[in-house]
Amino acid sequence: MTAFDIHPNDFRHWNLQIADEVATLQLEVDPKAPAIGDYELKLNSYDIGVDIELANAVRHIRFQNPEVKCVVFTSALEGTFCAGANIRMLAEADHSHKVNFCKFTNETRLEIEEASQQSGIRFLAAIDGACSGGGYELALACDYIILVDDRSTAVSLPEVPLLGVLPGTGGLTRLTDKRHIRRDRADVFATKAEGAVGRDALDWGLVDELAAPTDFVEAVAARAQALAATSTRLDGDPVPLSPLEISISDDSIAYRWVNLTIFDRYAELKVLVDQSSDWLLQTARELDDVLCRLRFDFPGIGTLIFRTEGQIDEVLRSDAELQSPNTHSQLETLLLWKRCLSRIDMTSKTLVAAIEPGSCFAGILLELALAADRTYMLDGQFEEEDNPLPPAVIQLTATNFGAVPMWNGLSRVQSRLWGDEVGLVAASDFVDRELSASQAAQLGLVTATPDDLDWGDELRLFIEERSSFSADALTAMEANHRFCGPETMATKIFARLSAWQNWIFTRANASGPQGALQRYGSGSRPNFDNQRT
In the DSSP assignment, the letter for residue 494 is: I
Which pLDDT band holds residue 520 (cuts at 50, 70, 90)? Answer: confident
pLDDT tens across 161-175, in order?
A: 998 888 888 899 999
Averaged confidence pLDDT in the chain: 95
Task: Determine the pLDDT at residue 294.
Answer: 96
Whether pLDDT at 52 is above 80: yes
Task: Determine the pLDDT at residue 505.
Answer: 85
Whether pLDDT at 518 is above 90: no
Task: Determine the pLDDT at residue 14.
Answer: 98
CB-CB contact of 290 with 269 (8 Å)? yes
Which pLDDT band holds residue 367 (cuts at 50, 70, 90)? Answer: very high
Task: Determine the pLDDT at residue 407.
Answer: 94
List the single range of 38-47, 303-312, 492-501 with lowest mean pLDDT: 492-501
Alpha helix positions (H), 346-451: 366-371, 412-416, 421-428, 437-442
- 426 alpha-carbon distance from chain centroid: 32
Q: Is 358 left (phi over 0), alpha (psi -120 to 50) or beta?
A: left
In the DSSP assignment, the letter for residue 299 is: T
**Which strand (E) or helix (H) includes residue 258?**
strand 258-262
268 phi, psi to nearest 5 deg:
-115, 130
Q: Closest Cα to residue 82, out of 48, 128, 124, 36?
A: 128
Q: Which residue has the higher pLDDT, 523 or 411?
A: 411
Which pLDDT band holds residue 532 (cuts at 50, 70, 90)? Answer: confident
Which pLDDT band holds residue 517 (cuts at 50, 70, 90)? Answer: confident
CA distance to 155, 196, 208, 323, per residue, from 202 (Å): 11, 9, 6, 42
* Separation of alpha carbons 302 and 464, rounded Å: 11
pLDDT tens across 108-154, in order?
A: 999 999 999 999 999 999 999 999 999 999 999 999 999 999 999 99
Percent of the chain with pLDDT over 90: 86
Residues 6+ apart with CB under 8 A from 19: none
Whether pLDDT at 497 is above 80: no
Which pLDDT band holds residue 219 (cuts at 50, 70, 90)? Answer: very high
* Separation of alpha carbons 494 and 11, rounded Å: 28
pLDDT tens across 418-464, in order?
A: 999 999 999 999 999 999 999 999 999 999 999 999 999 999 999 99
Task: Determine the pLDDT at residue 68.
Answer: 98
* For range 29-55, the mean pLDDT: 96
Which pLDDT band holds residue 384 (cuts at 50, 70, 90)? Answer: confident
Whether pLDDT at 71 is above 90: yes
List the single range of 222-231, 377-386, 491-500 with lowest mean pLDDT: 491-500
Q: Closest Cα to residue 62, out of 6, 2, 13, 122?
A: 122
* For range 390-417, the mean pLDDT: 96
Q: What share of the chain is helix, strand, coil (3-state, %, to 5)?
A: 45, 15, 40
Task: Determine the pLDDT at residue 404.
Answer: 97
Whether pLDDT at 502 is above 80: no
Which amino acid belongs to residue 501?
Q
* Separation of alpha carbons 189 and 174, rounded Å: 13
* For range 356-375, the mean pLDDT: 98
- 492 alpha-carbon distance from chain centroid: 14
CA distance to 51, 53, 469, per residue, from 105 (Å): 6, 11, 29
Sequential DSSP letters for 160-199:
IIIISS--TTTHHHIIIIIS---HHHHHHHHT-TT-EEHH
Q: Closest Cα to residue 433, out of 402, 401, 394, 400?
A: 394
List the single range of 60-69, 186-195, 313-322, 505-514 with lowest mean pLDDT: 505-514
CB-CB contact of 414 with 422 (8 Å)? no
Which pLDDT band holds residue 413 (cuts at 50, 70, 90)? Answer: very high
* Separation of alpha carbons 348 and 340, rounded Å: 14
Alpha helix positions (H), 237-324: 279-297, 312-323
Task: Report the interhelical angle of 279-297 vs 95-117 (nearest 10°).
Answer: 150
CA distance to 305, 379, 436, 465, per residue, from 450 (Å): 16, 6, 13, 17
CB-CB contact of 206 with 181 (8 Å)? yes
* Separation of alpha carbons 262 and 277, rounded Å: 29
Q: Which residue has the higher pLDDT, 483 or 51?
A: 51
* For range 292-303, the mean pLDDT: 95
Which pLDDT band holds residue 494 (cuts at 50, 70, 90)? Answer: confident
CB-CB contact of 111 with 141 (8 Å)? no
Task: Output the pTM of the full model.
Answer: 0.95
CB-CB contact of 200 with 208 (8 Å)? no
Q: Buried b / exposed e across 500-519, counting CB within 10 Å, b at 16+? A: ebbebbeeebbbbeebbbbb
List the single range of 115-129, 195-209, 345-359, 500-514 with lowest mean pLDDT: 500-514
Q: Closest Cα to residue 145, out of 122, 125, 171?
A: 125
Secondary structure of residue 328 in the 3-state scheme: helix
Which pLDDT band holds residue 472 (cuts at 50, 70, 90)? Answer: confident
Whether pLDDT at 495 is above 80: no
Q: Give me the domains of the chain, ranges plus CATH numbers.
A: 8-228 (3.90.226.10), 247-482 (3.90.226.10)
